[in-house]
Amino acid sequence: MNPSKAGASGVRPPRRTGPDIKAIPFNSSTDGVAVSLLSDAERHQLALIASIAHLKPASVLYEAGDPAEFLYIIIHGAVKTVRRLAGRKRAITAFLFPNDLVGLAAEGRYINTAVALAPLTVYRMPVAGLERVLLRNPELEYHFLCKVCHELREAQRHAISLGRKSAAERIAMLLHMLEHRQPPDMRDGEIALAMSRSDIADYAALSLESVSRTFRALQRGRIIAVRDKRHVRILDRARFEQLASTP
Amino acid sequence: MNPSKAGASGVRPPRRTGPDIKAIPFNSSTDGVAVSLLSDAERHQLALIASIAHLKPASVLYEAGDPAEFLYIIIHGAVKTVRRLAGRKRAITAFLFPNDLVGLAAEGRYINTAVALAPLTVYRMPVAGLERVLLRNPELEYHFLCKVCHELREAQRHAISLGRKSAAERIAMLLHMLEHRQPPDMRDGEIALAMSRSDIADYAALSLESVSRTFRALQRGRIIAVRDKRHVRILDRARFEQLASTP
DNA sequence: CGTACAGTTGATGATCATCAATCCCTGTGG
DNA sequence: CCACAGGGATTGATGATCATCAACTGTACG
């Protein structure tokens, strides 16, 4: 029970945002939009043990090494999961968005630190209760399984990106992911960046300076336009997609 | 029951190799040894739909893009999962060992190609039947969930390795993983490499040449001894662990 | 109006990829 | 038995990419 600064206010289910996917085992759509949305019945089950918490940007959901007492589902906002490396280096293993699962543990402890990137609303579920609920609701558990599979694929994509792609390609892939995962408050086709350049560097395994230079290079190539440090627009869709293409 | 080419020789459970872990939600041990081993009852449930297949080294379990009809659990042997990248480059997303799950799909299709590295024995489960079984056996499903969580953490570790570690550290981390995951037929503390240098290169996101040079450098530093291309021994445990340390 | 922090830009160097030549091992056929 | 072919692996030389160090700019905030 890590109260932190965010008050866990009552139990109120989030609004329904889309249809379920059930038929295809361990499946998920590529962009994660329609993944792991819960049925009303499933939400009701979770509501029995979950509370809703609101957190301010930069607040910490949990710290690496803490006993893993809660699992979170993002309702609104964005989260980064950070790991400290040797010599004050940091790695961001994932950016997470609405409907994503946060707080997977190993040996009862969190393996990284989760930090809110924006005003955040989450379901907060004690793991002990969650295990009981899952074991009584195989379909709900199946949704969790699908969700974790999706995060696994995302992590593999990330690994390929870091290992085999150039700086420009990594940045393009990140922008591509953000474009597809962030809720459409990007009017006019603009991509809103919830994170700092430094966070981008830690995610893409680049130096801060390289991120900066890469953004500039993409601008000079007329591939993107950077209106403001937090707002990017795609100018040359074809070349952008080619850079961001996963294969 | 899908006989297929590999003789589905009746339903015969693999020998028990360790105790289950149940109490800790979404948990797994670090080295994966005691992860996702099934109880007799659970194995019995899986046996209703699974067949056992034997495959020769270098044979293909499935190809990327194929409809995902089966999920596999490795009983004996090792598997690599390969993805083709642009320009005849390849990436190996994972090496998988006994008790690992192979064949997670996206949108009903496999996203990479799975190839046997050694004589291989697998459980082979049609996904349609598997979904039914899982929905009726929440505890079994929970084991699958834990297993996928473990693979997720492994993928994240891999991503950090590729993004932030030197060639020597990547190789050391791979050797470290092999040492902990491969069954103890490495007598005398030797690590048996089931894969070629080329596979190591594709896993570590290095060139073939860099892998070679890195092995040599580790030898010259008296950190490892390479008896044969497939057998390595740790000479300086302290420095080895330091290189391989995850942080 | 300065202090602080995030970001940009430039110069230099380390790491690793690439190209190319050679070696080693295994199997094959004379 | 030997020679040879072919793939895997090694070694060396050169170059590209990106990290690092350092200086500087902008912007928010006291």
Q: What's the pLDDT tens digit per position in A174-192?
A: 999 999 997 766 567 899 9
Per-residue confidence (pLDDT) for residue A34, from 0 to 100: 42
The nucleotide lying nearest A210 (C-alpha to C1') is D18
Cβ of residue B164 lies below 7 Å from strand D: no
Could you tell me the distance in Å between the CA of residue B55 and the C1' of nucleotide C4? Answer: 63
Per-residue confidence (pLDDT) for residue B23, from 0 to 100: 34
In a 3-state reduction of DSSP, which class is residue A25? coil
Count of CB atoms within 10 A of residue A152's CB?
25
Given B89, B145, B150, which is nearest A144 (Cβ)?
B145
Give the chain B residue whose CA is nearest to the CA of A167: B163
- Going residue by residue through chain B (247 aa), what tens digit of pLDDT does each one get? 443 444 333 344 444 333 333 334 455 544 444 445 678 888 888 889 999 999 999 999 999 999 999 999 999 999 999 999 988 899 999 999 999 999 988 789 999 999 999 999 999 999 999 999 999 999 999 999 999 999 999 999 999 999 999 999 999 999 999 999 977 665 678 999 999 999 999 999 999 999 999 999 999 999 999 999 999 999 999 999 999 997 7
Across the interface, whether the CB atoms of B25 and A127 are under 8 A apart is answered yes
| Residue closest to B169 by CA, chosen among B198, B202, B206 | B206
Per-residue confidence (pLDDT) for residue B27, from 0 to 100: 57
Give the separation between CA B200 and CA B174, rounded to whole angstroms: 8
- Total-model pTM: 0.87
Given B145, B159, B164, which is nearest A148 (Cβ)?
B145
Q: What does the domain layout of chain B look like in residue ranges?
A: 3-161, 165-244
> Looking at A157-161, A203-207, B85-89, B117-121, which range is the least confident one?
B85-89
Over residues A5-25, mean pLDDT: 38
Give the chain B residue whose CA is nearest to the CA of A24: B108
A99, A143 in Cβ contact below 8 A?
no
Per-residue model confidence as pLDDT tens digits over A80-115: 999 999 888 999 999 999 999 999 887 889 999 999
Give the separation between CA B99 and CA A201, rounded to whole angstroms: 36
Specify the residue for token string 């997720």.
Answer: B152
Contacts of B68 in chain A (CB under 8 A): 25
Across the interface, whether the CB atoms of A247 and B134 are under 8 A apart is answered no
Does residue A7 register a pLDDT over 60? no
Which of the listed CATH numbers 3.40.50.720, 1.10.260.40, 1.10.10.10, 3.40.720.10 matches domain B165-244? 1.10.10.10
B144, B134 in Cβ contact below 8 A?
yes
Could you tell me the distance in Å between the CA of residue B60 and the C1' of nucleotide C21? Answer: 34
User: What is the least distance, in Å, from the CA of B211 to any CA of chain A?
Assistant: 14
Residue nearest C18, CA–C1′ metric:
B207
Mean pLDDT of chain A, nearest integer: 86
Environment class of B238 (CB within 10 Å of its CB; exposed 0-12, middle 13-18, buried 19+): exposed
Could you tell me the distance in Å between the CA of residue A18 and the C1' of nucleotide D23? Answer: 52
**Residue type for A122, please?**
V
Structure tokens that stand for A192 in this block: 């809103």
Over residues A211-231, mean pLDDT: 96
Per-residue confidence (pLDDT) for residue B42, from 0 to 100: 84
Instruction: Classify domain A3-161 by CATH number.
Output: 2.60.120.10
Does residue A243 register a pLDDT over 90? yes
Per-residue model confidence as pLDDT tens digits over A59-80: 999 999 999 999 999 999 999 9
Across the interface, whether the CB atoms of B134 and A127 are under 8 A apart is answered no
Residue nearest C25, CA–C1′ metric:
B229
The nucleotide lying nearest B204 (C-alpha to C1') is C16
Q: Can you list the positions of beta strands (E) in chain B? A: 51-55, 60-62, 70-76, 79-84, 90-96, 101-102, 105-106, 109-110, 113-116, 120-126, 190-192, 224-228, 231-234
